[in-house]
Structure 1
Amino acid sequence: MCGIVGYIGSSKAQDILVEGLKKLEYRGYDSAGVAVYNGGRLEVVKAKGRLAELEGKLEAAPLSGTIGIGHTRWATHGKPSDVNSHPHVDNERKISVVHNGIIENYIALKEELIERGHRFVSETDTEVISHLIADLYEGDIVRAVQAAVKRLRGAYALGVIAEEEPDKLVAVRNASPLIIGVGDGENFIGSDIPAVLPHTRDIYILKDGEMAVLTRNGVELFTLEGNIISRELFHVDWDLTTAEKGGYDHFMLKEIHEQPKAYRDTMGSRITEDGKRVVMNEVKMTADELRTIRHVHIVACGTAYHAGLVGKNVIERLARIPVEADVASEYRYRAPIISKETLVIVVSQSGETADTLAALREAQRQGARVIAITNVVGSSVAREADDVITTWAGPEIAVASTKAYTSQLIAFYLFGLYLTQTLETQEPAMIEEAITALRALPEQVETLLGQADTVKAFAEKIANHDDLFFIGRGLDYAVAQEGSLKLKEISYIHSEAYASGELKHGTLALIEDGVPVIALATQQELFEKTLSNIKEVTARGAYVMGIAPEGDQELAKSVDEVITIPRTLGLLTPALSVVPLQLLAYYASLARGNDVDKPRNLAKSVTVE
């Protein structure tokens, strides 16, 4: 996820672009840049690092033009660097482009353009767009953009300017957000409303497959085929703080609702168009090397460790390789048995987690191959691992992880299926069925979010309790541990997760009248045993909220409240069942008057042991 801005008017574009980028820095902050039509030519200034680095360059050599585009980057293709930063230009520096999204067929387009004489300088997918538009340009930037986007496959929001037409700013949206701000003698584009809010509150919100042509005197909306679109302006009446959160009260709630997009983006081009196979070009191990794996270690901290517990189950069930899951802070100190036949998977949202980095280095020292699952391109974990599976969740602002965790689940599902294909441990039909179910998850999460009011009501009932328990078996136990962590870290309610079958080995002594229990019962093969465990706690007076698949008739008879999740393969249920637990933690924290996004004593990235 990146942030784009654009301006055309009579004011100094540089200042407006930088101001807009500051409002969008939450969408990406590893590099930034601007392109401005300045003194009769396009001038591009870019800088790796936070926006302050770009500001320093612009202060030293300011741009005076009144049309331009800007970008703040969250790296996906190519490490953070000046050259990989946006905006990108063609070889003649006549066309400049900013882009939010992923172009899935950029390699094929790049090879075609190289054959036509184009020279590329960056590792990005976006540079292909500027070259493609330039290749198609015949004096009309609007037509060239329309022709170019017909060649693109993937997600994109684009801002485009051309040196030969300094009176136009072209914007396009397909599966990535883009808004148009309409002012008096000036107009704007942005990835989000905060980018333009200081200048106008009149907005067009582009839909997928739509484009806009901005001049100083007006805005025209078109379909990609060139048909004119008539649409009423949307007048923003939020304050700026609310707008930065997309209208949500907190970043955490916004990020919970961003999960369907994070699922889609993480799957991205890793699934073939026919939906039958997983492709993981970022894993450089050959088929023969993958066949030498005899055991897998998954190492992570906190929420990432809980994703690893699901990953362990996925790899063992599908690929039939034994897997150990360890918290990174303990891994080195138990003298793990590692060999060249060991594959170590380290998981870190930030890619800077100190304990996870130390585990990675120890594994490599002992000869293991290391795959990293991380959300940050160019992070320490990404640089040092042998292979990197990037989760494309986008920046996560709230301390309590939501979309980063579920994107890690998607990464494990993809890698588990990829390994299974290579080792041929499951029938192709089973793999295809799993991929079909995987692709259905984003829409199912959207449906699940519609039950937020039911979860909120339960959260308000339990908000004043001092203790709470989560129970589940198998994969439900893995999700219970994540649900418990979410609740305790932002609501400060003491919470514990237990394997349901362990209740009678001590934990039942803590169950008394009115104690809240969250019971997950989504695993069909374990349902009857879980139901028996639920009856053990209800018999002792527990107040129980159950989570079960749609259509369940039995669980509702034994619990006080029920949340149902859409039906999917048992292996994939964690990607759904965790969502109501995230909402539960959010609403319980809200009911207790806590700072949801910044819980006490905690930091987003743990860079010390």
Structure 2
Amino acid sequence: MCGIVGILGHDDVADRLLDGLKRLEYRGYDSAGIATIVNGAIERRRASGKLVNLGKELAAHPLPGTTGIAHTRWATHGGPTTNNAHPHATDEVAVVHNGIIENFKTLREELQARGRVFTSETDTEVVAHLISEQVEGGKLPDEAVREVLPRLHGAFALAILFRSHPELLIGARLGSPLVVGYGEDETYLGSDALALAPLTQRIAYLDEGDWVVCARDGTQVYDRDNQPVERPVTISGVTGALIDKGNHRHFMQKEIYEQPIVVAQTLRSYLQRFEGKIVLPIPDFDLSGIKRVTIVACGTSFYAGMVAKYWFEQFARVPVDLDVASEFRYRAPVMEEGGLALFISQSGETADTLAALRHARSEKQTIAVVVNVPTSTMAREADLLLPTHAGPEIGVASTKAFSCQLSVLAALAANLAKAKGWLSESEERNIVRQLAEAPAAINGALAYDESIEAIAGVIAGARDVLYLGRGTDYPLALEGALKLKEISYIHAEGYAAGEMKHGPIALIDENVPVVVIAPSGPLFDKTVSNMQEVQARGGKVLLISDYDGVEAAGEGCVATITMPKVHPLIAPIVYAVPVQLLAYHVAVAKGTDVDQPRNLAKSVTVE
């Protein structure tokens, strides 16, 4: 959600700022803008919609200036209009902001009472006015920022430009990430390392509550108590090349097809295949004393956690609590000291999940995180870091990150079972063998892409779609429904197949397709009986199963998708592919924006 780039440079910076914003398009946004200082005044170029519109604005009205800030906005207050686009500015100050100022209404009313005039509906504009008041009253920029930051409640990453100090940038973060980049006689601010990759590999991550003054004669970081501190400079390792779609039509399609490779990369970190052993990134981390696991996540990551709950309880016999991150703190969870709190996030910056992590820390839990960004805030605050190796995921709807999360969680569940004494050496070798086969099985599932595309029309014309599954296929039903909602805008819901008869069956008619996920196995017959209840009421069933399942239950279905036969352990990883492809082809058929669906953001850094 939202992206920030700031450059304190020697040459005109507008083109480089725009390039940085292009690297942040994957986050999702609805407007964008750039501000620099030109002839002693703050100048802005802003546009609603895609970055191509901002590019046209810059082409028509070039923007010189060697110091500048830029932003892609995902609306929290006010619609996606040019007036609401960042940067927000007064005559003295320009500001870009990721996050949300929760007390903005009170601050705005206070500022308006003092005669300040607002030109947008956003919460961010109050920051510009508060700092501007201090500067107009004679405060230096660092003094002004120091005075204002304690007044801001909520979450923010800020980059601030000052008219009277054209060779100065100030940044600040609380609950939303911000990094400082160091170049050759230049300094940069960015919402992540990817934004700064073409500019520098040398970056420092600001800690919670930090703020930083970037000047020509050096950079100084201050902590939340306004004490000068040093933050280590690291080499980001992020490529400066723009990621492209290759031969694929969309990033989402490319990322679906990358899953055999990235799952193999991820599992390589957790499996010693030839020894038949499952390992953790921290070899001496002791799981044997864990009596309870609490899993917390949002969206697709939450559904990965649902699958993990089945695995942890089945293999390790450890009870698991599962929570949506946005609700976790507010139900006052009872957490036994010494429990394992497991947080799952693609970005490692999700605001709801990060807040839940810090609550669990206060409850004396051991913190484990599954993340795709090993330098993220969650990763840095974890006791046990469990990285996925999916690589950058540009499509807003998560695909390869989900399958890699499942791979890590399967390995963790087996590790926990081994530590608790529930897994013999032969069983461990068998699990390693099954997990090692997952990449080939995913590749086999991708071979059915054309047949899935051919039946997408069954779904594309519907207004409502239901997904059914049992056991670990139930979270996949929820994930399939989420994918369809996200990118095709068709209303879809996932249900445990046995719950169909307890209410949702009232929705069944010939206009509501029902996608049934049912690999052959111990739960197959039960799922088929629920499927037949749908068919008896005129419902159109699309069955996703293996050859045996399709042979046994495919008759009467409007369409079937045949998957390779796989072990139940890896079935959720493999069956993620057809639900992803189905959603993708339906969205393409409907002509929606597959990679950047409306109203959505990749990294959600507000609560």
After TM superposition, give the deviation of residue 393 of structure 1 in Å: 0.4
Separation in 1, partners of 2:320, 2:509:
37
CA drift of 1:275 comes to 4.4
Within a 5 Å distance, the mapping from 1:148-547 to structure 2 comes to 244-282=244-282, 285-286=285-286, 290-522=287-519, 524-547=521-544
Shift of 1:52: 11
Q: Structure 1: which amino acid aligns with 2:602?
A: K
State how far apart, in whole Å, the 2-side matches of 1:468 and 1:263 are. 29
Q: Give the residue type in structure 2 aligned to 1:569.
A: H
Q: Distance in 1 between matches of 2:21 and 2:365?
A: 43
Deviations for 1:268-291, whole angstroms, at most 9, x for unmatched residues? 2321141411111336532xxx22
- Give 1:124 shift: 8.7
Aligned counterpart, 1:10: none
Give the letter for the 2:521 counterpart: Q
Contact 1:28 1:74 in 2 (8 A): no
Is the CA contact 1:346–1:372 (under 8 Å) kept in the aligned structure 2? yes
Alpha-carbon offset, residue 28 of structure 1: 12
Aligned partner of 1:91 in structure 2 is: none
CA–CA distance in 2 between the matches of 1:483 and 1:494?
12
| Structure 1 position 388, deviation (Å) | 0.8
Separation of aligned partners in 1, 2:566 and 2:455: 25
- Residues 575-586 of structure 1 aligned to structure 2 (within 5 Å): 575-586=573-584
> With structure 1 as the length reference, what TM-score do the two structures score?
0.62
Contact 2:341 2:365 in 1 (8 A): yes
Q: Which runs of 5+ in 1 are unaligned?
A: 1-17, 30-48, 61-71, 85-120, 127-189, 196-242
Aligned match for 1:57, one of 176, 184, 202: 184
Task: State the shift of 1:122 in Å.
Answer: 10
CA distance in 2, matches of 1:513, 1:25: 44
By relative contact order (CA 8 Å, sep 6+), the higher-ranking structure is: 2
Give the Cα–Cα distance (whole angstroms) in 1 for the partners of residues 366 and 239 of structure 2.
Answer: 39
CA contact (8 A) 1:299 1:345 kept: yes
CA deviation map 1:200-250 (0-9, x unaligned) = xxxxxxxxxxxxxxxxxxxxxxxxxxxxxxxxxxxxxxxxxxx92111111
**Alignment: residue pair count:** 406
Shift of 1:431: 1.7
Cα displacement (A) at 1:554:
0.5
Deviation at 1:374, TM superposition (A): 0.5
Aligned-pair CA distance for 1:544: 1.1
Distance (whole Å) between structure 2 residues aligned to residue 28 and residue 51 of structure 1? 18
Residue 519 of structure 2 aligns to a residue whose secondary structure is coil
Shift, 1:523, TM fit = 5.3
2:481 match: secondary structure: helix
Normalising by structure 2, what TM-score?
0.62
| Identity fraction in percent | 41
Q: Is the 8 A contact 1:490 1:596 kept in 2?
A: yes
Amino acid at match of 1:331: F
Aligned-residue CA RMSD in angstroms?
3.2
Tell me by how many angstroms 1:57 deviates. Answer: 2.3
- C-alpha distance in 2 between matches for 1:400 and 1:387: 27
Which residues of structure 2 form unaligned runs of 5+? 1-15, 28-176, 188-192, 206-231
Note the C-alpha offset of 1:337.
Answer: 1.2
Of 598, 602, 605, which aligns to 2:603?
A: 605
Report the 3-state secondary structure (helix = DSSP H, G, I; strand = E; otherwise coil) of the residue aligned with 1:57: coil
Secondary structure in 2 matching 1:590: helix
Structure 2 match to 1:9? none
Partner SS for 1:564: strand
Query: How far apart are 1:585 and its partner, in Å?
Result: 0.8
Kept in 2, the 8 Å contact 1:445–1:576? The answer is yes
Amino acid at match of 2:281: N
- 1:565 alignment counterpart: 563
User: 1:488 corresponds to which letter in structure 2?
Assistant: K
Structure 1 residue 571: Cα displacement: 2.2
**Cα displacement (A) at 1:497:** 0.7
Q: Is the 8 A contact 1:283 1:388 kept in 2?
A: no
